[in-house]
Structure 1
Amino acid sequence: MAYLEARGLGRDFPGVTALNDVDIDVESGRAHVLVGENGAGKSTFVKLVTGTDRPSRGQIRIDGKDAAEHPDLFRYIAYVPQELSLFPHMSVAENLLMPFHASGHRGLVRRRTLEAKTQSYLDRFGIAAKPSDLVRNISVPDQQLLQIARASTNTDMRVLILDEPTSALTPVEVERVFRVVRDFHERGIGVVFISHKMDEVFDIGDDYTVLRNGKKVDAGQLADVDEDRLIRAMSGQKLELGTMFRPKVPRGKPLLTVTGLSGRKFDDVSFTLDRGEILGFAGLVGSGRSEIMQTIFGFLKARGGRVSLDGADWPLGDTTKSVAGGMLYLSEERKHHGIFPHLSLRENIGLSITDLTNSPLGISAARERAAVDDIIKDYEIRTASREKKISFLSGGNQQKAIIGRAMAMTPKILIFDEPTKGIDVRTKAQIYKIMQGLAEQGIGIILVSSEMDELRKCASRIITMHSGRITGDFDSATADSEQLVGAIFATETEHV
């Protein structure tokens, strides 16, 4: 039986229809996968069925009743967003059980009661933390599970919506999330699972709906379809999933040399990056991959070791000198560290291209518009206008804008940290092609990714990490998945 029903659901905004005539049923005890490219209407649908926005037309029924007439019914729908929405400076217990009404007496919080209740959830969800731990000190996978656990503290929950819950997790960590989802199934809770990862869609899903340009274009049971059909429905065209994006020109001389580098969460790391190479870094979340890159770039302090660029010592601990020297770091948290959400697309790009737009009288508006338009065209950024706020663009188009802005600064080295997190299949392929083209121009690229398929498609070599140490250096053309996964969990260095 469908516990959540959408009938003829539509939502209009000035000049655009974000959702049009969409029907979806979410049944108790089943996982309904919602897929579509960035901008297809998935987020709009979620806002409507969680009661955070009102439809322009159509009906939402919860437990057989019209939610417009009974808005209190939205309490049965729980939602876990893609971006972590925890309070990092508060404890696990405080994040889990806020607003504490079930953990005190007459408005007073009882710490013992709070932590006892929290421990039961930590045990059930397999979260490796103590109730008193600060959230900022626990791993990203545990934070993701904590968000799901927090949603489950809603005792009225009958439908749980998970938006890209595994976007930055490795396969082992994904399985932890899936165990929780399967437990919800057994308890009769319906799950809406939003994902761009096709293997996960078929692993966890029962039913599916495909949205494209705000419309439902396909729906049914996943047992009756294959991956190609879903991707064709999402994109409106056939995509070659097996395409490789490794640079097609020979690697040049060493560009970046890292020797004995130690810092936060890693120790004694050495590797080289050649000109025109895409060098992949694989490892569990918390293995030290991102910390190495942030130390090389200057965000974090090094405890020892040295780095050289083109044979000359590289100044560690100074991001300004890194940028001036031709090194750029593109963070996985693009909404926090990559864009200025309240500024337009033009303003976001224009901040970094002043060398192209300066005139004797200051910044030339005409030059800026022309330069921004060139970047929009060259990087195929989909937008109604250069003046549109960048926060209104899809994640994939935001990422392409960030890359275009970076390339206007003519870097020698680009460090990509989870560049396709939360991005649809077609846009991923566009970003892979951009990276390939940049490498073939002689730029050195480091690609940090939790997706093994992404690394094997794009990287010439893959370095694996475990507990802050390098455990393998592989030729991606010859290494298989078993070797790579084995090295991620290994403790001794292995070269293939």
Structure 2
Amino acid sequence: MLLRAEGLTKVFPGVIALNDITIDVAEGEVHCIVGENGAGKSTLIKCLTGVYKPEKGRIEVSGEATTEGGVQFAAVAYVPQEIDLFMQMSVMENLFMPFERTGVTTPISYRALEERARPIIEEYGIKATPRTLVSELSVADQQLVQIARAVQHEDAKILILDEPTSSLTDDDATRVFQVVRRAKARGMGVIYISHKLDELAVIGDRVTVFRNGRSVASDYIENVDIDWLIREMTGRKLAWEQSFVPNSGDGDVVLDVRSASGPGFQDVSFQLRAGEILGFSGLVGAGRTELMLSIYGTTPLYAGEITVHGADGERAGGRSSRRKRSPEMSLKEGLAYLPEDRKRLGIFGGLSVAANTSMMSLSGFVRGGTIRQGTEKQAVLEEVKRYDVRFPTIDTAIRLLSGGNQQKVIIARTMMVTPRIVIFDEPTKGIDVGAKYEIYDLMRRLAEEQGLGVILVSSELDEIVYCSNRAIVMNQGRVVSEFDQPLNKEALVSAMFGHRDPIGNVNE
């Protein structure tokens, strides 16, 4: 075995993060690890890379036991879920950092570095030149640079990939799979962590399921299916093709967008009704997030009109020009936006669950210039209970919560300002299957039971199909098609690529 971890136990105050975990990966093998958020996957990675020292257990690399700070950990190359590159440096510089681990000697010859980088860029299909700045690359190419950099290290024998396709389209994910197969063919052992269960059959040899810090099941890929994985991950049977489409959606128009143009989108028109979930689908770069940011007021509106209607059908704020639109105005009109980048834009990691939940509605708890903390905490407790947020105490730092619970805190915070329209931008990115179903059901309840208009922006077609009353497809910044239920994935994919569907919905 290239790597074997036996009996690993890691304890934090009040939490057993890993409980007697044993796992291994062989030469030329892809070993997939799945589990709900908080199951122990991240803690395992930190133990395998030497960041954490387990209280119990043993880690061997190529049969040699590791020691704290030992050179054995140099054999483990780790690629994190978030992009972790030097954005204002070139592709070739990023590929070989740190230079001492990739055989680059000083003084550095950039001509030699360029010649060395060029075949790697071609091998990995990175759409760039050696001197291209990483900031100019697509997210997919940045991810490929991360993987390519990891395997350039001279001592690397084991590659750990943490959610490598979470922000990628299916086509871009295929490029990552090709890279993984290449590493496997070179004899590397690959540990592949993913919440996208359908990927496992494509890329994996074995799969191990974590639950509550334990390894609860392990088998070869050919012996498992989606139902087995979900059952082992959650401890319960879930209907993974369950519908979360609201039994409503024919309410009054709450948002009217007409001929809107802005950074990354042109001439977009649509209406959103109370009680419906309106899905937005498209490839990366299609302009969906850019459109939502302009609707919310974060980025300017170049042309067109955005009208938010009040509860009585009248305009809540009138037509909004680029000079008037702002997040503050949107919130006053009853329009809220939940960002795609949850960790960077959605939470304040060092603050408590309570502070993150109440920060948009603090003015309601102020009397005489002082925050009434007792009233604030009681309101927070009621709200997080309503959305089933799980945490040790409301004073726990939100960064310590799982991704699903962080997302539910953001939803609770948003609902404390009583919006009538909520935009969810990639709401289940990096979230496990059990938590995904909870988020889907929350969106359905907001639309069906509270009469909100909900916009769902998602790169996962299953989310669009299982949650949306209607779906709009964007391509290159324009709306190219609109579909009603029953939604068809094949028709959505065809529209995403600008192809005409059987009923001629695409405007070319």
2:301–2:321: 8 Å Cα contact kept in structure 1? no
Aligned residue number for residue 260 of structure 2: 261
What is the distance in 2 between the residues matched to 1:103 and 1:346? 46
Moved more, 152-161 or 83-92: 83-92
Q: Does 1:288 align with 2:298?
A: no
- 1:324-343 matches, within 5 Å, as 324-343=332-351
> How many residues align structurally?
494
Aligned residue number for residue 23 of structure 1: 22
Aligned residue number for residue 450 of structure 1: 459
1:31–1:204: 8 Å Cα contact kept in structure 2? yes
What is the distance in 2 between the residues matched to 1:84 and 1:284? 19
1:283–1:466: 8 Å Cα contact kept in structure 2? yes
1:101–1:107: 8 Å Cα contact kept in structure 2? no
Aligned residue number for residue 54 of structure 1: 53
* Match of residue 318, structure 1, among 322, 326, 346: 326
Aligned residue number for residue 465 of structure 1: 474
What is the distance in 1 between the residues matched to 2:102 and 2:30? 31
CA apart distance, 1:29: 0.8
Q: Does 1:357 align with 2:365?
A: yes
Aligned residue number for residue 495 of structure 1: 505
Moved more, 159-168 or 320-329: 320-329
2:39–2:210: 8 Å Cα contact kept in structure 1? yes
What is the distance in 1 between the residues matched to 2:215 and 2:101? 41
Alpha carbons of structure 1 residues 361 and 291: separation in structure 2 relative to 1, 3 Å: closer
CA apart distance, 1:264: 1.9
1:104–1:114: 8 Å Cα contact kept in structure 2? no
Alpha carbons of structure 1 residues 4 and 106: separation in structure 2 relative to 1, 3 Å: closer
Structure 1 residues 319-373: Cα deviation after superposition (integer angstroms, max 9, x where no partner) = 2212222221111111110111111111111212224423345211111110111
Structure 1 residues 141-199: Cα deviation after superposition (integer angstroms, max 9, x where no partner) = 11111111111211221111110111122211111111111111111111111111110
What is the distance in 2 between the residues matched to 1:19 and 1:127? 37
What is the distance in 1 between the residues matched to 2:167 and 2:106? 38
1:161–1:191: 8 Å Cα contact kept in structure 2? yes
Percent of pairs with identical residues: 46
What is the distance in 1 between the residues matched to 2:190 and 2:342? 27
CA apart distance, 1:379: 0.8
Aligned residue number for residue 435 of structure 1: 443
Alpha carbons of structure 1 residues 254 and 404: separation in structure 2 relative to 1, 3 Å: same
Alpha carbons of structure 1 residues 215 and 104: separation in structure 2 relative to 1, 3 Å: closer
CA apart distance, 1:236: 0.9
Moved more, 42-51 or 113-122: 113-122
* Match of residue 478, structure 1, among 486, 489, 494: 486
What is the distance in 2 between the residues matched to 1:113 and 1:103? 13
Aligned residue number for residue 242 of structure 1: 241
CA apart distance, 1:251: 2.1
CA apart distance, 1:10: 0.7
What is the distance in 1 between the residues matched to 2:226 and 2:104? 53
What letter corresponds to residue 464 of structure 1 in structure 2?
V
Structure 1 residues 246-292: Cα deviation after superposition (integer angstroms, max 9, x where no partner) = 11124212221212222222222221111222111111111111111
Alpha carbons of structure 1 residues 320 and 250: separation in structure 2 relative to 1, 3 Å: closer
What is the distance in 2 between the residues matched to 1:219 and 1:105? 41
1:283–1:465: 8 Å Cα contact kept in structure 2? yes
What is the distance in 1 between the residues matched to 2:475 and 2:340? 20
Aligned residue number for residue 428 of structure 2: 420
Alpha carbons of structure 1 residues 29 and 106: separation in structure 2 relative to 1, 3 Å: closer
Q: Does 1:407 align with 2:415?
A: yes
CA apart distance, 1:102: 8.2
What is the distance in 2 between the residues matched to 1:298 and 1:251? 27
Aligned residue number for residue 198 of structure 2: 199
CA apart distance, 1:43: 0.4
What is the distance in 2 between the residues matched to 1:116 and 1:487? 41
Structure 1 residues 205-244: Cα deviation after superposition (integer angstroms, max 9, x where no partner) = 1111111111111112111122211111111111121211
What is the distance in 2 between the residues matched to 1:479 and 1:442? 22
What letter corresponds to residue 451 of structure 2 in structure 1?
G
- What secondary structure, in the 3-state scheme, does the structure 1 residue paired with 2:2 have? strand
Alpha carbons of structure 1 residues 131 and 304: separation in structure 2 relative to 1, 3 Å: farther
CA apart distance, 1:76: 0.8
- 1:377-416 matches, within 5 Å, as 377-416=385-424
What is the distance in 2 between the residues matched to 1:102 and 1:396? 36
- What secondary structure, in the 3-state scheme, does the structure 2 residue paired with 1:196 have? coil
2:31–2:206: 8 Å Cα contact kept in structure 1? yes
Structure 2 segments unaligned to the other structure (5+ residues): 310-314
- What secondary structure, in the 3-state scheme, does the structure 2 residue paired with 1:108 have? coil
What is the distance in 1 between the residues matched to 2:280 and 2:178? 27
Alpha carbons of structure 1 residues 49 and 101: separation in structure 2 relative to 1, 3 Å: closer
Alpha carbons of structure 1 residues 321 and 164: separation in structure 2 relative to 1, 3 Å: same
What letter corresponds to residue 505 of structure 2 in structure 1?
H
- What secondary structure, in the 3-state scheme, does the structure 1 residue paired with 2:302 have? strand
CA apart distance, 1:421: 0.5
Q: Does 1:161 align with 2:167?
A: no
What letter corresponds to residue 364 of structure 1 in structure 2?
R
Alpha carbons of structure 1 residues 41 and 103: separation in structure 2 relative to 1, 3 Å: closer
What letter corresponds to residue 197 of structure 1 in structure 2?
K
Moved more, 251-260 or 394-403: 251-260
Structure 1 segments unaligned to the other structure (5+ residues): none
- When normalised by structure 2's length, the TM-score is 0.93
What is the distance in 2 between the residues matched to 1:365 and 1:344? 13
What is the distance in 1 between the residues matched to 2:482 and 2:250? 16
What is the distance in 2 between the residues matched to 1:134 and 1:299? 26
Aligned residue number for residue 274 of structure 2: 275
- When normalised by structure 1's length, the TM-score is 0.96
1:40–1:211: 8 Å Cα contact kept in structure 2? yes
Once superposed, what is the RMSD of the aligned Cα atoms? 1.9
What is the distance in 2 between the residues matched to 1:397 and 1:80? 24
